[in-house]
Every structure is written in C-alpha cells, then in structure tokens.
Amino acid sequence: MFEASSGLVDLTDASPARHRRITSLRVTSGRRSLDSTYYDWLLVDGRIFGGNPAQNNKSTHGSWIIDLCVGNKYRIGRKIGSGGFGEIYLGKNMISGEEVAVKLESVKAKRPQLEHEARVYKSLAGGVGVPYVRWFGTECDYNAMVLDLLGPSLEDLFNFCNRKFSLKTVLLLADQLISRIAHIHTNSVIHRDIKPDNFLMGVGKRGNLVNIIDFGLAKKYRDPRTHSHIPYRENRNSAGTARYASINTHMGIEQSRRDDMESLGYVMLYFCCGSLPWQGLKAATAKQKYDSVVFKKMATRTEALCHGLPNEFAIYLKYIRSLRFDDRPDYVYLRKIFRDLFVREGFKYDYVFDWTVQIPVQITEECIGHCPLLEPSPDFRYDAARRAKNGEMSKAVELQQAIQGSYPTIA
C-alpha cells in the first residue's frame, strides 16, 4: 500500500507567490506495447531513462552501478539512460546527499560536444526553467557534466495522457514555453531542436515549472557584446528533428530565432491535435520519408493545420512565418494572444495540468484498477503484476516519486 503524500508546490515564472497542493499523478497510459510504455521516470535531457529491463539486458531494479566519483564529491550510481551524445547516470552529492544527474561522454568521442553544451548552460544560468550545471570537467576517461535532476518530459506526459492535452493545459504550457525560448534568445542563443522531449517538468516544489534542456545543437545567433546578427546563408545542413523543424530549415536556410518559434508552434499543434499531418508517412527509405515530410509540411495550409482550433493558433503561426531572418519575435505579444484566449475561455490560472489530480487519493495498484480517473491500459496492469513478481518498485510509486523528487537512494 502506498499513500500519496502531498507536496507544497511553488508557483513561479513571473507569477504572484501562490501555492497549492499536488496529491498525485494521473495514472493513464498510451495504448502502446509494454516495451514502449514501461518507464523508470528518471528523466534528464528529454529522454526516457531506464525503460524495459529486457531492453537493457538487465532485470534487477537499481542496477548499472559504476565506480566513479566526479568533481571530488559526486558519486555516480546506476545508469538512467542515454542522451544524444552521452550516457546519463543518477548521481549523489556525498556532502549534502542531494541527488543529481551526471552526463558522461568519452574523451575519445569522435564529435565531443559536452563541453559546448556545458558552456551554453552556463551562459543561460539564473534563468527560470534552465537547469543549473553544478560541475563540468574531465574524470578518468570521461568528460562529465553534473546538473539538476528533473522530472518527466512533456512527451512522456503527453503519452501518459493518451496523446491529447486539453486546451487549458496547452495554454498553460504555451505561456511558459514562450518564456523559456525568449530567455535563451535574449542571451544570444538559439536552441535548434525544440520538441516535447526537450522540455521537462520540475520535481517537488518546482513540479509545475517547465525546464528547457539539451543544448547539444544550440549555437549563438549573434555576438553577445555587439548584438551583430549572424549572416543569412543557404545550403545549410538541417539540424534538429524533422517533425518539428521549420520550413526554412528544410529549405537549407540558416536558422535564427524565428525557427525556434515555428518549431514551438508545431509542438503546440501536436499537443492540441494528438499528431501532425506529416506523421506516419510511409516510404521505402529514410530519405524518401524525410522528403515526404517536407513536401507535406510545405503543402499544408495554415488554415488546414489549425482547423478546429481557436484562431489564435493560426495567428501565431502566420506571424512567425512572416518574420525575416534577423527579426526579433515579439514574445510579449505572443504570450498575450494565448493569455487572452485563456481568460476568454474562463480557465483558472491554477497550474492544474491534465496529469495532476486535485483530490486526495491513495495510490495503489488496486486503486489504479478501479478509479475512473486512473484507468490504466492492459499493459499497465501486466507491468504491475510483473514488477510485483520480481520484487520491483511499482510504477505507481515511481510516478509519485518522479513528481515529488524522491528517487531510489544511492547508499
């Protein structure tokens, strides 16, 4: 039996000091196979860390221990996943006991990028929703970066909510997402890989705060001192994720601030609709599929893309697509159109997302099987039985811990 413990949540991000209590996480699941719905919910850099033990060739919860200490005080524990350019481990500050994430990269990597990513993080330090880099350096045969341990990504929560967010949740997220991107742009950086996987919710008292992560592809779009913008160039290699890439990126045009914002527009439409028109296209080769995505994206009119949604989404997309290469997006205006829609719809700015539950509830496998708000998929029930048989932590407990920031302890 597991009783959900309430956590006091600090509502930040330029809002008055207000508090509410989160009692549990809504336990639902996308109707997918067990292998793709089993999560450890230790998430950093926007990726699922852990996964099915069979996939990792491990069957014991809490495995993947390596004997390494970085920065003279961070002990590395089990492996919790793989980032785009390295491996991520659960770490612990041996002095304070605080748990952190440690990203490791071999010093022999063909294209080392961890130092670049650490520099970007440090240039953005102090911003709301930007993880803090506690240490970066080389230890033994590894480059290591120690940073905040965060909660689930928006992609994971999207799957958790059966791949559809309510308009209220999308608008609550939009306000924070625009603010995050505005902050990195103000610091002369463009992200170049805006997608749901690269936004993580916080844990504990910061459980309602969206964090932007994974700056492996980020670059300066202007000189930080003179603000001289990089030159317009064509025939550039595409960077980022095809599903959310801007049309100009597909055309080989150098990316700038407008491209991050266009990608965000596609993310919001994805959350509202459950998918984008260029998803699921069939092709014989990867290149043919990519070309099909580009063709479909360019052929889909804004009105068709935003069909059935409030007009503000089309206004957003048309505005972003009208920007010139070196134009500064009007972030205040963009937040305002969605905030005005939020007020017009009569929503309450209470930071209650689709994945949060407002009523006290005892989170047990039995409860999950009977509570309408917590209806699981058959895979979830099967996974619960498998975990019980193997003596592993139940998913209900893991999900609660992920939100409240209480992870398996490193001795």
Just list the catalytic residues.
Answer: 193
CA distance 218 to 184: 10
Tokens of 226: 């003179």
> Rounded to the nearest 5°, which phi and psi values hold at 389?
-65, -40
DSSP letter assigned to residue 405: T
Return the closest-CA partner of residue 198 out of 182, 186, 185, 180: 180
Q: Map residue 356 onto helix, strand or coil.
A: strand
CA distance 313 to 269: 8
CA distance 394 to 381: 11
CA distance 313 to 108: 46
> Rounded to the nearest 5°, which phi and psi values hold at 383?
-65, -40
> Rounded to the nearest 5°, which phi and psi values hold at 28?
-130, 175
CA distance 28 to 25: 9
Residues 6+ apart with CB under 8 A from 295: none
Tokens of 26: 């809504």
In what helix (H) or strand (E) does residue 357 lie, and over which residues does it extend? Answer: strand 356-357
- The CA angle 336-342-346, to the nearest 5 degrees, is 145
Q: Map residue 70 onto helix, strand or coil.
A: strand
Q: E strands within 94-226?
A: 99-106, 133-139, 142-147, 189-190, 199-201, 210-212, 219-220
| Bridging pattern class, strands 24-25 and 356-357 | antiparallel
CA distance 67 to 116: 26
